Structure 1
């Protein structure tokens, strides 16, 4: 009897969660297609759905004895949402003079944000948000330049809850509109088997070539990563297919894991979607989304070209081959099978890049096209029951997938609100400029370290948001263009998951590869080295982000491609044959010179490349002569 009751309650609970998740996704689709609500109401409705779903899906602790706390939090979540619907028209007019009920609801909303963030992303972002609140309240107790006048609880709540510069600001706004739609698009792709089909497509294209499975990992992880934007999640999904195949082909476990971690991490810098980063950056800087994608394209191509070449050189160094043709899917058949997925992706690119409609509209129409192609030419075409199940599954998954990023964006809103209220952003900028002594290279290095440290504990988008509010003004103050300053911070936030000692993407890959986590992390860092060089290069040479004359940009791209070719050779230690330490050093110097835009550096890089190639050719000639002498002696 009790067992039946337990099963029934679980079934009811699952039905409730599914219903709310589907309702959230339908709300996002409706507002995207027929017009968003007023900013506060759109964001409040979205975050209320997020509160309820997180509280239902994630327990307070691993034990269920605190169910009463979950119940209280759920009541609070619903109450704050209803309160916002009842008062949103007059809310902003009470900024600076909150009522008692405003104070209660504001405190409840902040507590709910901190709790759902803890449940979805862990403690790091919660601790930063709490420290921000403590800093706002107890400013006079902080030392030196960090000191400021204390703000009362009423002023803090007014800033965070009653204004558009706190919780209801840009970051949650992006999550409640564009990010939610693109996450939903990714969920529809995955629900139709997109992940598996992308892998099959990559296998049919690159599977037979030298190091085929590793090249498949590079291609498929890049395709999935640009939509998901989560390095760890990407490794956990695509890596389960690619890592065992790489090991089977002959790659060492730590190398297979490193390749997958690097390939998965790069998706967040690959246009057109770039995870959620491009949308957030556009809102924070006022720069059009299309311009950000164009600027990010060249560095992203260089990143994946470097990894692709490193994979190829590693396979050549170890004498590996591709997979037998009999084990690979047929390219033509795979293209036909994947057509229903490729059409909506091309529609998305067309709307974003050519027509340049808003990202929300582009995602909305792409989802509708994906639904149409799935129903008419997909594997379950005209099967009403199967298509209905697929649609409901995608709607539920899209809502579940957006929870983490929405919670993180809401918590980031608390931090940004405190930064705006206390002026700590300008203080941080002054500290960076003063510590750098006015030298840009030192300011960049300090910003890089801060981005990586934050990125080790936070999702890439959240890490970028926090540091962009404080670190970008310092770089702009030193005459770095706004777009380049934000791209610099974003890149290092993205690649923190492959930076030891806390390389979460690499450690996830190590678990699948059954390799040593630290060794896998170091390998991933080495394979992704170009990612740590390019931001410096485009800061000093803007042509790498498509700024300048067309001829200059084309020349820069050509030289940078040769540069990453040299870098891959230096990192792997192979170019036609194994390299000596001296040749690897020369190749590395050539890479740095060629990736850095400029006539003198290009000439230096080409000269170094010529020296390295001459050294290889002379050594090969010498070895051939020795072999001939031995043959004659016999």
Structure 2
């Protein structure tokens, strides 16, 4: 098996430094002493509260959400320093104002539970104390989001607040009557349309439990097993380490809520292997970045955005409907990256791992039982079980699975640490969803979503394709620097209504903006996942981002296809039709991959490359005439390549299974 010292795998400290540089969610203080105990037991209490409500039933909406918010805000002010530039491996101590903000956050979180009856009976009339607490809630959410999530979403939320107050001064279709400060505060904290809206509701129920599930999976060794399984499956193939990165990241994405964290944890192992084999630094980083970002598109978890999608789309749609619809596009995405890395490896003559560098297949298969929690949660969700119950049962199965290996067996101490880790990972999500609630609340009160939709449609002349292009650009911009849950909330609120107005099914529209919001992580100029991969690989960040976007070409094509033809999302189709769609789409990805890389069985002429990309796009689009035309073009290209290979049998050929 490959030795760590042979490929210079990054240490845990180096990995953490890179994650903290590009991912604000990861940069917490390492508290010691009394403050360390306070933070530890606060996180533990947070998890216990969420487990209690999951088992015995949630409280009234305002109470459930404000307690969840109070826990998150107070812990963020204890754990996340105000100034990231001064953060020095936990040596940065809590300041007096951090303590004040934490105490105020507890007060805000307790306000609704303590005065619930009075607030309900007031029918929207705010007392002076209500007004002060509401203002504090808004300011605390903005500051906590800045610390735990980053500036982009904080600035967007602040601009929306300004827009809500000064709407009467806005130009053209953006103008509205304007909200008084009292009305704004009332909407933001005393209704379920603002901070306490749908995004925070989902965070305080489904998302927390799935993050807790991910924490237990890590403790049972599932994350490491994904790497071992990926090496066993893909390591011997041509360009093996790149395919290991793709396979591992697809699996890691089922439990990871962060593209950056996925890049660094998987990339610390795969990127050095790729570089050792002969891949350029930028390409090695790009493979990991594009694959890790794609993990957010992979069911069943999809970066936790799938749970938000259920609430935002409504109309009786279930979580399983969304996961099922997202499956084929996600498979095509990873197929595209796999194919392009294969052709790149053939182009530059790279080998796979040797037998000596490979782990024992038998040893890897001995631990296949570690996948049981993942299989269980998929089956439970397929059965339409209540999502919270599915998460609870899956956590229990993860604990049971850990018992079979003494290394991962969880005693009471490990169980408590898993609860604490799960709560810690939920802090940034809670802040992001609360901040996203501010945006949703302003959009609802001002009608901005419909105004923006009509504005985009007018700009596109009422034609679908130009509207999709403008919506894509808007989603890429809005998704820059935002975590998965937050960028979905923003893009679905502002960008999705435009294409829905043109008759596109809600699910197709929401997945369209979701895809481009996620792909912003690898699209320059703000490509955080690509920059993190460049940090691991030692490559140039912008070039790594460009390579990442090229490898992720499927993500720029497939959303257009499933909007124009929803069969790709398993909507209104039969199994034979679906099988044909999958076969032709994968064939199309082979053609596109060859065209983009410029190599199939030999180096391709520029005319062949254009023909391959066109053939691939025709094959991906699920329609009879386009499929037949694409297949004919594909057959012609394949024949040309095969004839060249036959005529050059006397020359050594690089061949391998994809």
TM-score (norm 2): 0.90
- Alignment partners' CA distance in 2, 1:107 and 1:422: 20
Of 193, 202, 218, the residue aligned with 2:230 is: 202
Cα drift, residue 417 of structure 1:
0.5
Is the 2:274–2:284 Cα contact (8 Å) retained in structure 1?
yes
SS in 1 for 2:253: helix
Report if the CA contact (8 A) 1:207-1:215 is conserved. yes
Matches within 5 A, 1:391-402: 391-402=415-426
User: 2:107 and 2:525 mapped to 1: Cα distance?
Assistant: 43
What's the offset of the Cα at 1:191? 2.2
Corresponding residue of 2:509: 485
The aligned counterpart of 1:227 is 255
**1:539-618 to 2 correspondences below 5 Å:** 539-550=563-574, 551-618=576-643
Identify which of 466, 477, 484 aligns with 1:460.
484
> What's the counterpart of residue 475 of structure 1?
499
1:524 aligns with 2:562: no
Aligned to 1:91: 119
Q: Which residue of 2 aligns with 1:278?
A: 306
> Residue deviations 1:41-96, cap 9 Å, x none?
11111111111111001122338698222122122111112222112244344343
State the Cα distance separating 1:623 from its structure 2 match: 5.6
SS in 2 for 1:227: coil
What SS does structure 1 have at the residue aligned with 2:627?
Answer: helix
Pairing partner for 1:53 from 59, 62, 75 = 75
Equivalent position to 1:21, from 43, 48, 52: 43
Structure 1 residues 403 and 315: CA distance shift in structure 2, 3 A = same
Within 5 Å, give how 1:303-452 maps onto structure 2: 303-339=333-369, 341-353=370-382, 355-374=383-402, 376-380=403-407, 387-452=411-476
The 1:65–1:560 alpha-carbon spacing in structure 2 relative to 1, beyond 3 Å, is closer
Q: Contact 2:304/2:484 (CA < 8 Å) preserved in 1?
A: no
State which drifts further: 388-397 or 154-163: 388-397
Partner Cα separation in structure 2 for residue 267 and residue 599 of structure 1: 31
1:37-76 matches, within 5 Å, as 37-61=59-83, 62=86, 67-76=95-104
Cα offsets for 1:92-132 (capped at 9, x unmatched): 44343112111111111111100100001111111111111
Q: CA deviation at 1:405?
A: 1.3
Partner of 2:603, secondary structure, is coil
* CA-CA distance at 1:528 after TM superposition: 0.6
The structural deviation recorded for 1:331 is 2.2
Change (3 A) 1:621 1:331: closer
**1:620 CA drift (Å):** 4.4
Matched residue of 2:95: which SS?
helix
Alignment partner of 1:260: what SS?
helix
CA 1:511–1:380 in 2, change beyond 3 Å: closer, same or farther? Answer: closer
In structure 2, distance between residues paired with 1:95 and 1:156: 15
Range moving further from structure 2, 466-475 or 515-524:
466-475
2:196 match:
168
Contact 2:524–2:546 at 8 Å: present in 1 too? yes
Q: 1:164 to 1:12 in 2, by over 3 A?
A: same
Q: Distance in 2 between matches of 1:232 and 1:448?
A: 22
**Aligned-residue RMSD, C-alpha:** 1.8
* Residue among 293, 296, 310 paired with 1:265: 293
Q: Where does residue 4 of structure 1 map in the other structure?
A: none
Structure 2: tracts of 5 or more residues without a match:
1-29, 652-658
Shift of 1:379: 2.6
Structure 1 residues without counterparts, runs of 5 or longer: 1-7, 628-634
Could you tell me how far 1:229 is from its partner in structure 2?
Answer: 2.9
Alignment counterpart, residue 515 of structure 1, candidates 530, 534, 539? 539
Contact 2:307–2:319 (CA under 8 A) maintained in structure 1: yes
* Residues 452, 494 of structure 2: 8 Å contact kept: yes
Match of 2:326 among 296, 306, 311: 296
In the alignment, is the contact (CA less than 8 A) between 1:195 and 1:238 conserved in 2?
A: no
Distance 1:306 1:263 in 2: 10
CA offsets 1:374-419 (integer angstroms, 9 cap, x no match): 1x3123476xxx6223212211111111111111100000111111
Question: Contact 2:281–2:538 (CA<8 Å) still a contact in 1?
Answer: yes
Give the Cα–Cα distance (whole angstroms) in 1 for the partners of residues 521 and 31 of structure 2: 39
> Structure 2 vs 1, CA of residues 381 and 9 (structure 1 numbering), >3 Å: closer, same or farther?
closer
Q: Is the 8 A contact 1:277 1:461 kept in 2?
A: yes
Would the alpha carbon gap of residues 303 and 69 (structure 1) be closer, same or farther in structure 2, given more than 3 Å must change? same
Judge conservation of contact 2:108–2:136 (CA < 8 Å) in 1.
yes
SS in 1 for 2:599: coil
More helix by share: 1
With 575-584 and 84-93 compared, the bigger mean Cα shift is at 84-93
Q: Secondary structure at the match of 2:367?
A: helix
Secondary structure of the 1:282 match is: helix
Determine if contact 1:92/1:163 at 8 Å carries over to the other structure: no
User: In the alignment, which residue of structure 2 is the partner of 1:632?
Assistant: none
1:31 to 53, 56, 77: 53
Please give the alpha-carbon distance, in whole angstroms, between the structure 2 residues aligned to 1:336 and 1:622. 46
Q: Which moved more, 1:551-560 or 1:85-94?
A: 85-94
Contact 1:137–1:150 under 8 Å retained in 2: yes
- 1:235 is displaced (CA, Å) by 0.4
Which region of structure 1 is more displaced relative to structure 2, 270-279 or 614-623?
Answer: 614-623
> Size of the alignment, in residue pairs?
613
Distance in 1 separating the partners of 2:553 and 2:418: 36
Deviations 1:327-370 (A, max 9, x none): 2222232232342x2122221111011x2112211111100111
* Pairing 1:37-186 to 2, within 5 Å after superposition: 37-61=59-83, 62=86, 67-186=95-214
Q: Partners in 2 of 1:361 and 1:51 — Cα distance?
A: 26
Tell me, what secondary structure is at the counterpart of 1:148? coil
Match of 1:3 in 2: none
**1:109 & 1:565 partners in 2: Cα distance?**
52
